[in-house]
Structure 1
Amino acid sequence: MTTNQTNQTYQQPAPLTFTADRLAGRVILVTGASSGIGAAAVRRFAAEGALVAAAARREDRLTALAGDLKKEGQDVLPVRCDVTDERSVAAAVEETVRVFGRLDGAFNNAGVPGAGRRLHEVDTEHFDKVVATHLRGAFLSMKYEVPAMLDHAGGGSIVLCSSTAGLAGGAYASDYSAAKFALTGLVKSAALDYARDGIRVNAIAPGLTRSEMLDSWLTTEEARAEQASHFPINGIADPDDMARAALFLLSDESRWTTGTVLACDGGLTAGR
């Protein structure tokens, strides 16, 4: 232990109280919120009582999503955000805090598909785009989310979206897998940086999940069935399955968990 750690007084955490709305009253920022796992997360978090800032590049989709949820009495703020643009990320966090007064949690989910080619065939520009979105985008998001949480002094929880490609390599995935493996280092290091500040940092690692990205790759039911057969749980997850995993890591139910990458992959990496 360092001297600073030794001088701190240990306090037993208060008993955990379970509620129906696990994010009740909390302000949560979701990036990549216009479709797939991100849109499902916005819906799930709002249903659990959160005040959600839905951030993405496609403003029309964000507006439509916020409108749908408003009819259900759920408060969602659409915020345009390109996670590869530092000023855009800073502005999205600033707008969230301006409207809701604080930031309690974030699900950094924005992503783009890999090239789907062998390494020597991957265009360098595309490699840079994948890394800029998945890795640098997550870094930039946390760079501005953390100070907002520190200002609030109530701690917080940040969840990144990794992938099974960040737990095991795969053919035709060098760009995507490299970015997702790097996220693990980002998660573990940030978790150690801010553990004493009450900010937890974790990630989920989805397996095969229905999304625009997946549907552009697997265009037929036959192709989807063939891919699903490689998973011990023979199927393709729904985006809400991943939203529920992120919800767990954002909520107090995981208050003793930080620096972890949670595999949500139907058992794919269990034997690797």
Structure 2
Amino acid sequence: MPARFEGKVALVAGGDDAIGRAGALAFARQGATVVVAGTDARKLDATVRTIRHGGGRAESIVTDVTRDGKDAAAHMVAVTVERCGGLDIAFNNVTVTGPARPVADTCETVWTELLAHNLTGVWTSMKHEIAYMKEHRGGVIVNTACNLLSNGVRPGLGAYAASKAALTTLTRAAAGEYIADGIRINAISPGPAEEPGTTGPRPAGQDHATADEVADSVVWLCSDESAFVVGHDLVLDRKRAA
């Protein structure tokens, strides 16, 4: 069976956490040229080495689409295209949880930073990803939201949940606006995830997906097998199964 993404370029923004790394490795296994972007050069380089060691193609970009200025996301997309020849898939996995505090005890600085990372950073990334894809026959975008909306918001995480709920809404709005341009946009909503490659039985009571299981879902959403999935937020947990 041919690899799903042979000849395609996948950008993983926020590629330096467990889910981002697992996503990058999964795209590479399916034949994509992978670009991992994030703030931790050491982790990004380790992912690139792993992919290349396995015979894949990978590049890294050290950047912070939130703190590096208004042109950071444009630079990330431009470097991806320059080094790899295009952009077919974007996995926007930028996530910051922040300190756990009740809503009324959350300071303006924390509130602003959570919105900047979890919403504005993804929005600016999407702006430039969409602009490129519109001019080059479309593409696929997946954003990382959070399953707190389906499971119930835990005390102290109201600000974080609000930023991710806004991202889900933004994803659905963009999906409707750009499907006619051949751009499919969806979101995933996982819970906490372990490092990729974690093995062994699932601990009793663990209802959230592992990083590798989340990556499998992202790969499916980016594949032709989900060609008619548009504007969805795929919740990855088992607590609501009944």
Q: Are 1:48 and 2:19 an aligned pair?
A: no
For the 8 Å contact 1:81–1:88, the answer to whether it is kept is: yes
Matching of residue 201 in structure 1 with residue 185 in structure 2 = yes
Does residue 175 of the first structure (1) align with residue 159 of the second (2)?
Answer: yes
Count of aligned pairs between the two proteins? 234
**Structure 1: tracts of 5 or more residues without a match:** 1-18, 212-223
Asked whether the equivalents of residues 115 and 175 of structure 1 are also in contact (C-alpha less than 8 Å), the reply is: no
| 2:138 counterpart of 1:149 | no
Structure 2: distance between partners of 1:236 and 1:254: 22
Task: Supply the distance in 2 between the matched residues of 1:173 and 1:135 (Cα, whole angstroms).
Answer: 15
1:239 aligns with 2:207: no
SS of 1:189 mapped into structure 2: helix
Deviates more, 1:256-265 or 1:82-91: 82-91
Aligned residue number for residue 143 of structure 2: 160
Indicate which of 245, 258, 266 corresponds to 2:230.
Answer: 258
2:171 aligned residue = 187
Deviation at 1:166, TM superposition (A): 3.8
Contact 1:51 1:76 in 2 (8 A): yes
Paired residue type of 2:136: H
Q: Structure 1 pair 264/63, CA: closer, same or farther in 2 (3 Å)?
A: same
1:27 aligns with 2:9: yes
Q: Which residue of 1 aligns with 2:199?
A: none
Q: 1:55/1:166 Cα in 2 relative to 1: closer, same or farther (>3 Å)?
A: farther
Question: Residues of 1 paired with 2:108 and 2:71: CA distance?
Answer: 24
**Secondary structure in 2 aligned to 1:257?**
coil
Q: State the SS of the aligned residue for 2:100.
A: coil
Alpha-carbon separation, structure 1, partners of 2:6 and 2:233:
25
Name structure 2 gaps, 5 residues minimum.
196-201
Q: 1:91 aligns with which of 75, 80, 92?
A: 75
Q: What root-mean-square deviation, in Å, do the aligned CA atoms of Structure 1 and Structure 2 show?
A: 1.9
Q: Secondary structure at the match of 1:52?
A: strand
**Contact preservation (8 Å) 2:209, 2:236:** no
1:268 matched to 2:235? The reply is: no
Which deviates more, 26-35 or 168-177?
168-177
Q: CA deviation at 1:111?
A: 1.0
Q: Percent identity?
A: 35
After TM superposition, list the pairs within 5 Å mapping 1:99-118 onto structure 2: 99-118=83-102
- C-alpha contact 1:165 1:176 (8 A) present in aligned 2: no
TM (norm. structure 1) is: 0.81
Contact conserved, 1:102 with 1:149, CA < 8 A, in 2?
Answer: no
Structure 2 equivalent of residue 68 of structure 1: 50
Aligned equivalents of 1:20, 1:126: Cα separation in 2: 46
Secondary structure, counterpart of 2:71 in structure 1: helix
Map Cα deviations across residues 225-253 of structure 1 (whole Å, 9 max, x no partner): 6xx63xxxx45532111111110111111
Larger radius of gyration: 1
CA distance in 2, matches of 1:92, 1:104: 14
Name the CA distance, whole Å, in 2 between partners of 1:62 and 1:208.
Answer: 20
Letter in 2 for 1:244: D
The amino acid of 1:25's aligned partner reads G
TM-score after normalising by structure 2: 0.91
Q: 1:189-229 deviations in whole A, cap 9, x for unaligned? A: 10011011110000010023225xxxxxxxxxxxx96xx63
Distance 2:60 2:153 in 1: 35
Work out the CA distance in 1 between the residues paired with 2:185 and 2:241: 23
| Cα separation, 1, equivalents of 2:27 and 2:88 | 12
SS in 2 for 1:158: strand
